[in-house]
Amino acid sequence: MNQQILEGKLGVLLPIQAQIGFGTTITHPHGVVIHPKAKIGKKCKIRQFTTIGTSKSSAPFDAIPEIGDNVFIGSNANIFGNITIGSNSVIGGGAVVTKSFPENSKLVGNPAKNLNKINVKSKIFAHRGAKSFAPENTLSAFKKAVESGADGIELDVHLSQDGFIVVMHDENVDRTTNGKGEIKELSLAEIKKLDAGSWFDEKFKDEKVPTLEEVLETLHELKFTGELNVELKTDKNNYEGIEEKVSGLLRSVKWTFTYIYSSFSFSSLEKMHSVEPSAEYAYIMENDTEKMLQAEKTPFISGIHPNVSWFLKNAEIIEKSTKKFRVWRTEDDQTLFKLFKENPEGIFTNDTKKAIELKKRM
């Protein structure tokens, strides 16, 4: 094998139909990717962060690696698809194995698991809509999220200068439109003149920045029956009266979907709760355990939305908690597999199609 590839910073990539001979040892600190149709001989050793097979539904039906008898596969491996693993193989701690787990093979270490024995209940939320396939936080992105079969949809809200509830992630329009300026300093009429799609792809050039009312009506018309997560973007700007406006709109109709309010701002959640005490609330956090503890002792907060890195490092704290955890920043296959093992209440992802497909394979 080419020594330069072995020493590369991105790890080892073994191509399709690779032949890995009897007794070969492959190890690399950045991981190994073994493509479909590869044949792994007897008594091989493959260590650390290996991905074997493919998570893509478009892969050929016969693109199935064959793994020989008595193979050792190291820790934190991902093994998925209808793969044949020879008898008496050993699969290291932290591995994820789906389907075709053979008799007499072993899962060793903690927390190695065979996901055939796990009922993955985590709900898949489309983060800012299906933002991998359409410009984020637009009607097109929300429509595609519904089409993908997402369990939930997440969006962000601000107030325009004239008091309309605008759906956008950033506090300004610079990144996701052809305009410039703070949302709080622009009227709705000015915002509606902007192109909110061309930055993503020219085919979305007529896309407009939606209001929350437009999004709710669209989801209702599409008969979306999942959960809508409305994030109040009040951690940087104090939008006077946004809590009353958002709550009034959500309570004005019996929608086909349920909804959750979330925010990085604890004070905004308190205001919202005083307006609508019967709603469900979640506190968003990066890596701040203090915020988690604050949420834990606040009865009206039922959910905590942490960064995935914090979630995966704090299993003991989470196990003791009575709150619902919905995790964000979760794009690569390995992270999704780890989360499926832990079964949080929800997973926010930019690519709902991939997440749903991986979940189905569990």
Give residue 103's pLDDT: 46
Q: What is the pLDDT of residues 9-42, one digit of tens each?
A: 334 455 545 566 555 666 655 555 565 555 665 5
Q: Which helix (H) or strand (E) segment is 255 a member of? A: none
pLDDT at 329: 87
As annotated, the active-site residues are 127, 169
CA distance 58 to 353: 12
**What integer best gives the mean pLDDT of the chain?**
81
- For residue 240, the model assigns a pLDDT of 96
For 238, list phi and psi in degrees, rounded to 5. Answer: -90, 90
pLDDT, tens only, 193-205: 999 999 999 999 9
Name the strands in the sheet holding 32-34, side by side, starting at the edge strand that comes first in the sequence: 12-14, 32-34, 50-52, 78-79, 96-97, 113-114
How confident is residue 333, by pLDDT bands cut at 50, 70 and 90? confident
CA distance 317 to 247: 32
User: If you write DSSP's letter for every residue of 3-64 in order, what string do you get?
Assistant: HHHHHSTT-EEEPTT-EE-TT-EE--TT-EEE-TT-EE-TT-EE-SSEEES---TTS-TT--
What is the model's pLDDT at position 104? Answer: 47
pLDDT of 27 reads 60
Rounded distance between C-alpha atoms, residue 134 and residue 121, angstroms: 27
Cβ-based burial of 100 (10 A; exposed 0-12, middle 13-18, buried ≥19)? middle
Q: Which residue has the tokens 């309309």?
A: 164
Percent of the chain with pLDDT over 70: 67
Q: For residue 173, what pLDDT is reported? A: 98
Helix (H) or strand (E) holding 204: none
**Residue matched to tokens 């983060």:** 127
- Provide the whole-model pTM: 0.74
Q: Which pLDDT does position 87 carry in this prediction?
A: 54
99: Cα separation from own chain's centroid: 23
Query: Is 319 in a helix, a strand, or coil?
Result: helix
Work out the pLDDT band at 237, boundaries 50, 70, 90.
very high
Cβ pair 312, 344 in contact under 8 A: no
Q: Decide if pLDDT at 177 tops 50.
A: yes
Of 76, 59, 32, 17, the C-alpha closest to 357 is 59
Distance CA 258, CA 272 (A): 16
- The mean-pLDDT minimum among 23-32, 225-234, 257-266 falls in 23-32
Instruction: Name which of 280, 275, 290 is nearest 260 in CA terms.
Output: 280
pLDDT exceeds cutoff 50 at 64: no
How confident is residue 69, by pLDDT bands cut at 50, 70 and 90?
A: low
